[in-house]
Amino acid sequence: MKLEIGNFNVKDVIFGEKTMFSNGVLSINKEEALAFIKEDEHITELDIVIAKPGDSTRIVPVKEAVEPRIRPDGRPVFPGVTGDLESAGEGRIHALKGCSVLGVGMHYGSFGDGLIDMSGEGAKYTLFSELINVCIVADTDEEFERFEQQKKNKAIRWAAHRFAEYLGNTVKELEPEEIESYELEPITKRTEKENNLPSVVLVMQPQSQMEELGYNDLVYGWDMNKYIPTFMHPNEVFDGAIISGSFMPSSSKWSTYDFQNFPTIKELYKEHGKSINFLGIIMSNLNVSLEQKKRSSIFVAQMAKSLGADGAIVTEEGYGNPDADYIMCIAALEDVGVKTVGISNECTGRDGASQPLVTLDEKANALVSTGNVSEIIELPPMENVIGELEALARDGLSGGWAYDEILGSSVREDGSIIMENNAMFCGDRISGWSTKTMKEF
């Protein structure tokens, strides 16, 4: 299975007379773009705002991020979501690099939404401060969840995916500046050299804990709460087979942009045939009951053993209850002789002194931390706010609060903020972007 990603490097994004890409500049006809997004009757209020690195701009509540892409052959970029159900992971796709489409609430936030600062101290926490962000700022008629802390945010999230495909159309017929190629031979057809290297599998645990459908990550448009661990080709992940959900504190989230560019997968590809034999991905899930967690760990361990894996990387989207799935999976792999490394963030409390994961096991002896969700962050005011700043304090964003007897509100009168790292959009970069280091005191 071979996937080619044709890249077009975006140097600037502007509003212009025509939606087009030329000489590194993405131009958007705003009136036409607004009309396209509002074809969804659930979008009631709408604006499009461009945020660039270095701007004195704060964006909140951010619900989703998507890289603009298009398939030259006409197949949907996100099968089962933006079009008919088709196989992913093979063929050619064109991508606008250096930019993203953000879905942003115009008035209301929710538990899984986050914040992005485009400059200053806050910019270091999230990859999206480094990108040119085309922000869909919207309100919807989804009244059933307006005042719920946990929202599905379907209209805004779907708008982000549809608009990413719309912008991708600008490069559908153009010749890419560079082409990334990803190909793995079938496991039983590999060279002697590859087969003699240590075999490694990546175990991914996307968010799937909400038993009511509509909150979880989707695989080929299917809610992952109904999913059991399955062997997948890594190209499927790059190629739109999985999209992000609306559940899980924001710093722990894998946005759709993360799935499209998953750095850990890219690193495994780089080492394939050199230091490792990259077998592929066991796409697992995250569960609620102990029995469900145990069942998934059995599936994962059996699959890894049957594939002949010598080693595994396990990575989870989230923390808290999902830590039980994460640690149980690592222990199950170690029990069948697969040496395993875990990658996750941790929740060690505001003082950093608490147990990092909800549960631990002596077999989980190689863990990589990408940050503490509870770390307190204070940031000065920004000149501009895209969305609604008060949402951070008012709407139950994990990491924000309306009142604390010591710290007051997360949003102060002067526009400065205090919050937990929890509220940084994809702030812990668990997919492999992380630049954080750990120090022992």
pLDDT in tens, 18-69: 999 999 999 999 999 999 999 999 999 999 999 999 999 999 999 999 999 9
Residues 6+ apart with CB under 8 A from 311: 198, 199, 200, 201, 276, 338, 339, 340, 341
Burial (CB < 10 A; 0-12, 13-18, 19+), residue 257, is buried
What is the pLDDT, as a whole number, of residue 435? Answer: 84
Helices (H), 68-169: 154-168
Task: Tell whether omega for the bond before 61 is within 30 degrees of 0, i.e. cis.
Answer: yes
Question: Amino acid identity, residue 190?
Answer: R
Distance of CA 124 to the CA centre of its chain: 17
What is the pLDDT, as a whole number, of residue 8? Answer: 98
Q: Where are the beta strands (DSSP E) in 236-276?
A: 242-243
Sign of CA dihedral 343, 347, 351, 355: negative
What is the pLDDT, as a whole number, of residue 308? Answer: 97
Q: What is the mean pLDDT of the chain?
A: 96
Q: Are 103 and 92 in contact (CB under 8 A)?
A: no
Burial (CB < 10 A; 0-12, 13-18, 19+), residue 186, is exposed
What is the pLDDT, as a whole number, of residue 434? Answer: 85
Question: Amino acid identity, residue 78?
Answer: F
What is the pLDDT, as a whole number, of residue 441? Answer: 63
What is the pLDDT, as a whole number, of residue 437? Answer: 76
Query: In the 8-state DSSP scheme, what is residue 234?
Result: H
Residues in the chain: 441
Question: Amino acid identity, residue 374?
Answer: S
Separation between Cα atoms, residue 223 and residue 120, nearest integer Å: 38
Q: Which of 434, 414, 381 is nearest to 60 (CA)?
A: 381
Separation between Cα atoms, residue 432 and residue 99, nearest integer Å: 18
Number of neighbours of residue 22 by Cβ within 10 angstroms: 11
Number of neighbours of residue 215 by Cβ within 10 angstroms: 24
3-state secondary structure of 322: helix
Q: Read off the pLDDT of residues 367-385 as tens digits, 9 standing for 90 and up.
A: 999 999 999 999 999 999 9
Give the domain ranges of the chain. Answer: 2-423
Q: Read off the pLDDT of residues 384-439 as tens digits, 9 standing for 90 and up.
A: 999 999 999 999 999 999 999 999 999 999 999 999 999 999 999 999 988 887 67
What is the pLDDT, as a whole number, of residue 63? Answer: 98
Residues of the chain with pLDDT under 50: none
